[in-house]
Amino acid sequence: MALPNLSDADRQAALKKAAEARQKRAELRAKIKSGDMTFAKVMAKSDDPIVARMKVSTLLESLPGYGKAKAAKIMEELEISESRRVQGLGARQREALMGRLG
């Protein structure tokens, strides 16, 4: 699939939009890490584009006391692909995560 030809202004706008999204995700991860936002609250906001596009592994690693190893173990046990994003979770996967962490 060929990339669209963007004007310089369109390219700059897209870069700015992507940078803002990364910044918002970083702020969300910081809130989760500090305990200001719980896993259940984050999952309740799963229709928010910032939460929806976050990888599940990144979300789990942001939880206090969880790192790459624990996140990978949970995802493996619940049969969630490491590339899965929050918006792509199935009903059973979401239920299992909430039962485990919510």
Digit-coded pLDDT (tens) for 54-76: 999 999 999 999 999 999 999 99
Domains of the chain: 37-102 (1.10.8.50)
CA separation for the pair 9, 89 (Å, rounded): 35
Digit-coded pLDDT (tens) for 41-51: 999 998 999 99
CB 24 within 8 A of CB 50: yes
* pLDDT (0 to 100) of residue 3: 72
- In sequence order, what are the residues at sequence separation of 6 or more whose Cβ sits closer than 8 angstroms to the Cβ of residue 9? none
Residue 2 pLDDT greater than 80, yes or no: no
Q: What is the pTM of this model?
A: 0.83
Digit-coded pLDDT (tens) for 14-26: 999 999 999 999 9
What DSSP string describes 10-72? Answer: HHHHHHHHHHHHHHHHHHHHHHHHHTSS-HHHHHHTTTSHHHHTSBHHHHHHHSTT--HHHHH
**How distant is the alpha carbon of residue 100 from its chain centre?**
17
